[in-house]
Chains A and B, each alone.
Chain A
C-alpha cells in the first residue's frame, strides 16, 4: 500500500541554519504531496503542497519539490528561526473525487535554538 517515510528526528539546528527534512513515498501512480506542520499546543496545519511532478510548493520560506524520479518531496528552508520549532509531517493524497484521504509519515521534530 501507499506509504510515506520521513527522516527521524529530532533535528536540532541553530537559528539561521539551513534545514532539510527528507521525505520519500511509495505509491502506485502519482499522488499529490503535502507538508503539514504542528506547532506546540496547536492542531496540524497545511504548510505547502505539490500536485504533480516537478511542481514546487512554497510557504513561509519553506520549499519542497515533487521529484517523480526519486519519489521524494524533501522540505527545505534557507534560514530557520526559533519560531519554526515544530513537528513536520509529510503526507500523500489521492484524488478520491470529492474528498481527501491523507496518508502521513511519522513526523520529524525540529528544534531551533538561539
Chain B
C-alpha cells in the first residue's frame, strides 16, 4: 500500500516568490492535515480537512497561505508571497476518519527562502 506522497521534497526560492506543495494521501483516508515543522521543533497544525471541507484552519496564516483539497483527495498548500521566516518543513498527513489517534505522514517538503 502506498503511503502519503508529497512533492517537491526540496524547494529553494527567493523571498516574495510563490511556492506550492502537493500531497496525495493514502487511498481511502478522508482526513488530511498540513503541519509546519520548524527546525528543532515539533510539527504544528496548519489546517485539517475532512473530505473536501477545511474543518480547522485557525492556525493557517490566511494573508499569505492558502490550501485546497478538491474532490476530497489530493491537496495543495500555497504560499504567496514567501517570506524568510517561512523556511521550514511542510508535512502532510492523512487519517482514516475514525478516531484512532494514528496519522500517517509523508516525508515532508523542505522549503528554503533566500
Chain A interface (Cβ within 8 Å of chain B)?
Answer: 4, 32, 34, 41-46, 49, 51, 89, 91, 93, 95-102, 104-107
Contact = CB atoms under 8 A, between A and B. Distances in A.
A101 B56 contact: yes
Contacts of B42: 4, 89, 91, 104-107
B31 A99 contact: yes
A105 B41 CA distance: 8
Contacts of A96: 99
Contacts of B40: 106-107
A107 B89 CA distance: 14
Contact of A93 (B31, B43, B50, B101): B101
Given A32-B101, A100-B101, A106-B42, 20 more contacts: A34-B101, A43-B3, A43-B4, A43-B104, A43-B105, A43-B106, A44-B43, A45-B105, A51-B101, A91-B42, A98-B50, A98-B98, A99-B99, A101-B48, A102-B101, A104-B42, A104-B43, A104-B44, A106-B41, A107-B40
Interface string B43-66: 111001010000110000000000
B51 to A, nearest CB: 10
Contacts of A97: 99
Question: Which bracket fits the contact residues of B?
Answer: 20 to 34
Interface of B: 3-4, 31, 40-45, 48, 50, 55-56, 91, 93, 95, 97-108
For the complex of A and B, 8 pairs with smallest distance between CB atoms: A104-B42, A43-B105, A44-B105, A93-B101, A99-B31, A43-B107, A46-B102, A32-B101
A104 B33 CA distance: 14
18 contacts: A34-B101, A42-B107, A44-B43, A44-B91, A45-B105, A51-B101, A89-B42, A89-B43, A91-B42, A96-B99, A98-B97, A99-B97, A100-B95, A100-B100, A100-B102, A101-B45, A106-B42, A107-B41
